[in-house]
């Protein structure tokens, strides 16, 4: 196949300086016609960018590429393998409505804080969470680490969190490398979530030189599918403010607590100095999280984001999808009215009921979208359970099943068959083979 010539970046700059016109993407002329067309580029954009401006001569005519209809079956046509994947809600896939939003997004520069789509998303989430400002980031890990780095100034300083927390177990030691902070993981006395009493027992206050002062308390809600009650959050928040300790929320799945009826989004988020919320787990956006807090805090976080390579150029391509994820999957307003997320809770409770009706025990209550099977009780190892799922085209990661809104009825029917086989196996083998630890399945 022959290709049309492509100019390098340097050649493009030379052509600008010489006054000649360089080879440009096919949509360039249309973008020059009006501001409206610049904000709503033709649908050929995704094809030309995919080819990196290298268009084969024997490709379809431009009129065909501009057709508003997509092929009947594409990666965007449905959830695909995600519909049978219980490993995590990170496997959710973007939808046709997200693609439509991407096709009609703005293409301005976010490092210059000029992209309208991104600014609109940030403003919307700041309002929704009742914080002064917001910053789009590439991941929940980035959001958490920017928050910690922006709260902390000069070592020695420490962060107090649950021993299972994402910032401690799943972020590659970011708090140590980026913030030079000691992270102290605390085991909740109730075995479920941290309480004020847990915090008071483990916090380091004062200037006694042998200790490392607690400067940030980081909570996670939900954690392992379990909701931290709003009243407990308020107790810890009041204590933190009294002692001038910053309070951060890893709220990657705070949406789940809200649609479960534990409290509205601002009921939770206004208790914290900063909150990170994820768009790409249960909400199904392809990428991204958002960090909210005070104006000056977000200004500093933007600076740190730039320093670690997190600045984006045409960010509207991803923030357009994130806005659809919030509006359609979470739902409208502070309680997520009319969203798709609630269905995953109904499905999770149905699965938990299937398991217990067959005689199984749950390792923890099913409060949101996660079901924890006690595999020890049926004498089954995590690896065996994973293999049993594979024979029915299902993907598991161990005793934790994460239900997302793209899990359909067919997947649940297959799962019911797997559970039946589990108890058939138990009847012939009652031996407990392996103790499964929760933190092996944390993302």
Q: What is the pTM of this model?
A: 0.81
CATH topology of domain 100-336: 3.40.640
Q: Determine whether 438 is exposed, middle or buried from the number of CB atoms within 10 Å of its CB (0-12, 13-18, 19+).
A: middle
Q: Are 391 and 361 in contact (CB under 8 A)?
A: no
How many helices (H) and strands (E) are present in the chain, helices listed first?
Answer: 19, 12
Predicted pLDDT at 1: 41
With tokens 């695909």, the residue in question is: 80
∠ CA(219), CA(222), CA(227), 5° rounding?
Answer: 100
Q: How far apart are CA 253 and CA 64, in angstroms?
A: 42
- Does the CA dihedral 181-182-185-186 come out positive or negative? negative
CA distance 351 to 22: 59
E strand segments, 335-423 = 337-338, 362-364, 370-373, 400-402
Q: How far apart are CA 429 and CA 432, in angstroms?
A: 9
Four-way CATH pick for 341-434: 3.40.50.300, 3.90.1150.10, 3.40.50.720, 3.30.450.40? 3.90.1150.10
**Torsion sign (Cα): 18, 19, 20, 24:** positive
The pLDDT value given to residue 71? 56
Q: Enumerate long-range contacts of 231-240, CB under 8 Å, 24 or more apart.
A: 232/193, 232/194, 232/195, 232/196, 233/268, 233/271, 234/271, 235/195, 235/196, 236/194, 236/195, 236/196, 236/199, 237/271, 237/272, 239/196, 239/199, 239/200
pLDDT of residue 426: 73
Question: Given this model, what pLDDT does residue 427 score?
Answer: 67
- Distance in angstroms between the alpha carbons of the first and the last residue of the chain: 44
Ranges of the chain whose pLDDT falls below 70: 1-72, 427-443
- For residues 225 and 260, what is the distance between their CA atoms, to the nearest angstrom? 11
pLDDT confidence of residue 425: 80
Q: Identify whether the C-beta of residue 110 lies closer than 8 Å to the C-beta of residue 118.
A: yes
Alpha helices (H) along 160-216? 166-169, 174-179, 196-202
Q: Tell me the C-alpha distance between 63 and 158, whole Å.
A: 60
Can you tell me the distance from the alpha carbon of 402 to that of 439, in angstroms, rounded to the nearest whole number?
Answer: 14
Distance CA 90, CA 442 (A): 12
3-class SS of residue 320? helix
Report domain extents, the chain. Answer: 100-336, 341-434
Task: Report how far residue 291's alpha carbon sits from residue 272's, in angstroms, rounded to the nearest whole number.
Answer: 12
């Amino acid at each position: 196949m022959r290709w049309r010539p492509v100019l390098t970046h340097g050649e493009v700059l030379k052509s600008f300086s010489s006054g000649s016109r360089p080879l440009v993407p096919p949509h360039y002329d249309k973008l020059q016609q009006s501001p409206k067309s610049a904000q709503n580029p033709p649908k050929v954009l995704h094809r030309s960018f995919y080819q990196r401006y290298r268009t084969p001569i024997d490709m379809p005519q431009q009129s065909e590429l501009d057709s508003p209809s997509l092929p009947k079956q594409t990666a965007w046509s449905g959830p695909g393998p995600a519909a049978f994947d219980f490993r995590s809600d990170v496997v959710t896939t973007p939808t046709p409505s997200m693609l439509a939003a991407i096709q009609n997004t703005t293409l301005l520069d976010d490092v210059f804080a000029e992209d309208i789509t991104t600014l609109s998303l940030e403003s919307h989430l700041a309002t929704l969470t009742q914080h002064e400002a917001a910053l789009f980031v590439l991941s929940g890990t980035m959001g958490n680490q920017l928050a910690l780095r922006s709260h902390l100034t000069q070592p020695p300083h420490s962060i107090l969190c649950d021993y299972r927390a994402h910032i401690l177990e799943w972020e590659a030691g970011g708090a140590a490398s980026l913030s030079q902070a000691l992270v102290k993981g605390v085991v909740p006395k109730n075995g479920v979530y941290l309480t004020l009493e847990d915090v008071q027992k483990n916090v380091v206050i004062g200037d006694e030189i042998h200790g490392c002062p607690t400067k940030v308390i980081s909570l996670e809600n939900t954690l392992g599918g379990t909701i931290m009650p709003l009243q407990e959050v308020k107790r810890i928040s009041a204590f933190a403010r009294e002692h001038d300790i910053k309070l951060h929320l890893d709220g990657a799945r705070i949406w789940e607590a809200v649609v479960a009826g534990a409290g509205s989004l601002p009921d939770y988020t206004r208790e914290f100095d900063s909150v990170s919320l994820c768009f790409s787990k249960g909400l199904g956006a392809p990428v991204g999280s958002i960090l909210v807090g005070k104006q000056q805090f977000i200004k500093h976080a933007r600076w740190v984001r730039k320093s670690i390579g997190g600045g984006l150029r045409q960010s509207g391509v991803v923030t357009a999808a994130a806005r659809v994820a919030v509006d359609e999957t979470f739902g409208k307003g502070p309680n997520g009215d009319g969203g798709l997320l609630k269905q995953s809770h109904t499905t999770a409770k149905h699965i938990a009921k299937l398991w217990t009706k067959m005689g199984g025990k749950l390792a923890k209550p099913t409060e949101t979208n996660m079901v924890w099977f006690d595999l020890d009780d049926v004498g089954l190892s995590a690896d065996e359970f994973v293999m049993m799922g594979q024979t029915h085209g299902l993907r598991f990661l161990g005793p934790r099943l994460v239900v997302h809104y793209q899990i359909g009825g067919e997947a649940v029917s297959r799962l019911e068959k797997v559970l039946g086989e589990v108890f058939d196996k138990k009847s012939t083998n009652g031996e407990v083979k392996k103790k499964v630890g929760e933190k092996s399945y944390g993302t």
